[in-house]
Structure 1
Amino acid sequence: MSQNLRIVLIEDDDILRMGYESLLSDVEDFVVVNAYASYDLAKKHLEADHPDVILLDIQMPGTNGLQALPFIKKTLPNANIIILTVFDSPELVFEALTMGAGGYLTKNSSASKIIDAVREVSTGGGAMSTNVARIVMHSFQKNLNSPLTKRETEILDRIANGQTKSQIANDLFIDQETVRSHVKNIYIKLDVNSKSEAIKTAKEKRFI
């Protein structure tokens, strides 16, 4: 087995992709085998690239990162995948981790954190940004008897953090009508009539 860690980047932002490529190529035992602007461009070549570690963006044209995850794991079961994204919602974090991602970093992570994360996942460890680790810890502290579904909890959490329905819809890749439907169900389950009441009740009962 080669001593160099073989890395593939899948990131649609040209500047970021070139930045990551430059950063990782400068590390002595790393070799960036290929860098792609989307999973759809990468998929035909991944097997031949034979990467040890894949840095994968979530929001990309065509097949997004979360949709790509199961296909990558099926094609390359031994490759370690690090999600590198601007999104740090609990829903996306848990979805990515349960689908086989070995790490989850936000794009404001430092250069040293990204390099450390590549090394960590390649030896079987997990790598997370501080804010992502906090999300994971916080989820364990929630009331497990909540009547809300995971999606409803995620939406109410985002509402409590000041997000609008359109922002929530964009971030979670769903339409606004779906968000409205979830909000209606939240009000019914919590027996409340307003956003402020829903947030207050949910916080008091540790549902969010």
Structure 2
Amino acid sequence: MAATPVPPASSASAGPVVRVLIVDDHPVVREGLRGMLESDPAITVAGEAGSGEEAVVRSAALAPDVVLMDLRMPGGDGVSATTRILAARPEIRVIVLTTYENDQDIVRAVEAGAAGYLLKDTSRADLLAAIISATRGETVLSPSVATRLVTRMRAPATETLSRRETEVLSLVGQGLTNAEIGRALFISETTVKTHLLRVFTKLGVSDRTAAVTTALARGLL
């Protein structure tokens, strides 16, 4: 996925005012973002949420144009909240705004449908411009995030999965438990766990969700 260059912010943009929902578990961060956003007459803050669950509820009630979504919060993470928000209101544009830029987080957010992935050191001008760009259907990524994402997608897989490992991981992706996978493949639950541990090692991940996401990103599933 290529990033759309972020144009300079302009408070004189024509068109309706963009309504933004701020989602972050730190009140001081929300306050700072509110002040930053409302300094531009093209943007207004429709509301705030302090958790993933609250973000889902408030998005349904307020129907904002854009949601600025923190990634890691108590009460449901930003990726899960993004998935649920877009399932109910696909027209909303969700921009992840976080301090984290590891590959797994980026891929998970993009696959959940996020329209952008920005870091919290993004300048005020770039943040305002990104919000406006997102409402136009553009993808907005911090330069370092865009580089990591493109590099990851283009990189050949350094490890290949065995046929059985691929079968196990495919069933994990379908939501089956280890016990259910064992019954489906006529192997023990212990053997399933062994295959998964090998998959985790090969893909450089530590959990089932990341394994499926990484394998998909590398074309292994």
Q: Specify if TM > 0.5.
A: yes
Task: Kindly provide the CA deviation profile for residues 70-105 of structure 1, in whole angstroms up to 9, marking residues without a partner as x.
Answer: 110012110000001111111111111111000001
Who is 2:53 aligned against?
Answer: 40
Find the partner of 2:72 among 59, 73, 82: 59
Gaps of 5+ in 1: 150-180, 191-208
**Matched AA of 1:55:** L
Q: Matched residue of 2:22: which SS?
A: strand
Who is 2:149 aligned against?
Answer: 136
Who is 1:106 aligned against?
Answer: 119
Measure how far apart 1:108 and its partner are.
1.2
Who is 2:88 aligned against?
Answer: 75
Cα contact 2:117–2:140 (8 A) shared by 1 = yes
1:144-163 correspondence runs (5 A): 144=157, 146-147=159-160
Measure how far apart 1:137 and its partner are.
2.0
Distance 1:113 1:54 in 2: 16
In the alignment, structure 1 residue 87 sits paired with structure 2 residue 100? yes
Distance 1:17 1:27 in 2: 16
Who is 1:13 aligned against?
Answer: 26
Who is 2:40 aligned against?
Answer: 27
Distance 1:141 1:22 in 2: 39
Whose relative contact order is higher, 1 or 2, with alpha carbons under 8 Å and at least 6 apart? 2
Aligned pair in 2 of structure 1 residues 42, 139: CA closer, same or farther (>3 Å)? closer
Cα contact 2:60–2:85 (8 A) shared by 1 = no
Distance 1:69 1:145 in 2: 31
Measure how far apart 1:145 and its partner are.
5.7
Task: Kindly provide the CA deviation profile for residues 153-188 of structure 1, in whole angstroms up to 9, marking residues without a partner as x.
Answer: xxxxxxxxxxxxxxxxxxxxxxxxxxxx99x73898
Task: Kindly provide the CA deviation profile for residues 24-79 of structure 1, in whole angstroms up to 9, marking residues without a partner as x.
Answer: 11111111010111122333332221100000001111111111111100121100
Q: Matched residue of 1:44: which SS?
A: helix
Q: CA RMSD in A?
A: 2.6
Distance 1:79 1:117 in 2: 14
Who is 1:123 aligned against?
Answer: 136
Q: Matched residue of 1:74: which SS?
A: helix
**Matched AA of 1:52:** D
Who is 2:218 aligned against?
Answer: none
Cα contact 2:159–2:202 (8 A) shared by 1 = no
**Matched AA of 1:33:** A
Aligned pair in 2 of structure 1 residues 146, 68: CA closer, same or farther (>3 Å)? same
- Give the TM-score, by structure 1 length: 0.68
Distance 2:63 2:200 in 1: 49
Cα contact 2:52–2:80 (8 A) shared by 1 = no
